[in-house]
Amino acid sequence: MTVPENPYPQVTVDTSARAVAAADAWYMVGLSGIPSADNQGHTSNAGFVTTGDGVVVYDALGTPALGFELIRRIREVTDEPIRYVIAGHYHADHIYGLQAFADHTDARVIAQSRAQAYLDSDAAHVRLAQRRDVLFPWIDESTRIIHPDEFFDDEYRFELGDKTFRLLHAGPAHAPDDVLMVVEETRVLFAGDIVFDGRLPFLGDDDVNTANWVDRLGQVQDMNPSFLIPGHGDATSEAVRAVSFTRDYLEDLREHMGRAAQDFMSFEEAYEGGDWSKYENVPAFEETHRRNANAVFLEMEAALF
């Protein structure tokens, strides 16, 4: 099957695609840690589904070179045209790979409408400049932000070949524009960054909405997915357990920080007064937990007034 010549630096980290048994779905798992030149920016997951009439891709990875790797992995499996790329949310570790799809395929990029605010913001340019700095040569002057071809608001359902895809707006949660993608026939769920299995989630520095997030995780549990591919970390056939892990963590933070905010404590007091021992050995604790606690504290405080 034909793959165009690689115009990007050659990726050498593991990008092999793993198959979801009997579901026509595949996924790539990023490395742990924050994006750096060492991991070549490969810190997030992406996946794709074949339908007999075209491929649907969920997320595009963190650099154009990785997006190109994803195209190459798709071509190892099928020569069906790549029809859609669903942007799970417009965060830097998931979007710069869209450039490879824009330049080498006819795929339409679909995102939730709140992505527009990010695209219009200074933050989008600041973040790209920061990535050009820390992820050179993977992100460089030729890297650009690809805008969606199409937006949806709450829900978007479409059929392609032998499958039905349902896109659900799950935000504002991890991001304002979080999107879940469910394949109805196989119940495979691409959950993006609202589920983190086996590591603590990153709640972001602002805009987090854990109230809505917890609700959405309840909905995901009700769907009872056969297989769940999160935005980071391992995929699993034990979707309900994986979702519970993220949900319990968020609920713990909400309960503790909610009480502290009600008692007019400072964040320092609230944080020091918490027993976080059950999370201490969970990956990403050092990098995320204190910031997560602070984000939830601010959210709970704002909710009081």
User: What is the binding site for Zn ion (CB under 5 A)?
Assistant: 44, 93, 193, 231
Least distance to Zn ion, CB of residue 24, Å: 25
Of the two residues 148 and 231, which places its CB atom closer to Zn ion in the complex? Answer: 231
Burial class (CB in 10 A: 0-12, 13-18, 19+), 251: middle
Amino acid at 224: N
Q: Which residues, other chains included, contact 295 with Cβ-Cβ below 8 Å and sequence gap of 6+? A: 203, 204, 205, 206, 208
Q: Which is nearer to Zn ion, 60 or 260 (CB)?
A: 60
Angle at which helix 285-304 crosses helix 239-262, to 10 degrees, equals: 50
Task: Using the minimum distance from each CB to Zn ion, give the nearer residue, 88 or 225.
Answer: 88
CA distance 233 to 179: 18
Q: Based on CB atoms, which residue is closest to Zn ion, 41 or 225?
A: 41
**Shortest Å, Cβ 193 to Zn ion:** 4
Nearest approach, Cβ of 240 to Zn ion (angstroms)? 22
Nearer to Zn ion, 193 or 299 (CB): 193
- The CB-of-91 to Zn ion minimum distance in angstroms stands at 5
Assigned token pair, 45:
């997951």
Q: Which is nearer to Zn ion, 176 or 258 (by Cβ)?
A: 176
Compute the least distance from the CB of residue 96 to Zn ion, in Å.
12
Give the nearest distance from C-beta 59 to Zn ion in angstroms.
9
Closer Cβ to Zn ion, 41 or 258, answer by number: 41
* Separation of alpha carbons 177 and 94, rounded Å: 13
* Angle made by CA atoms 124, 117, 206, in degrees to the nearest 5: 75
CA dist 167 to 32, 62, 114, Å? 27, 21, 14
Residues in the chain: 305
181: Cα within 13 Å, side-chain hemisphere: 29
- Going by C-alpha positions, the residue among 198, 180, 199 that lies closest to residue 190 is 180
Rounded Cα–Cα distance for residues 125 and 69 (Å) = 25
Beta-carbon neighbour count of residue 118 at 10 Å? 19
- HSE-CB of 54 using CA atoms within 13 angstroms: 17
Q: How far apart are CB 169 and Zn ion at their closest, in Å?
A: 17
CB 265 within 8 A of CB 297: no
Minimal distance in Å, beta carbon 222 to Zn ion? 24
User: Looking at beta carbons only, is 77 or 119 nearer to Zn ion?
Assistant: 119
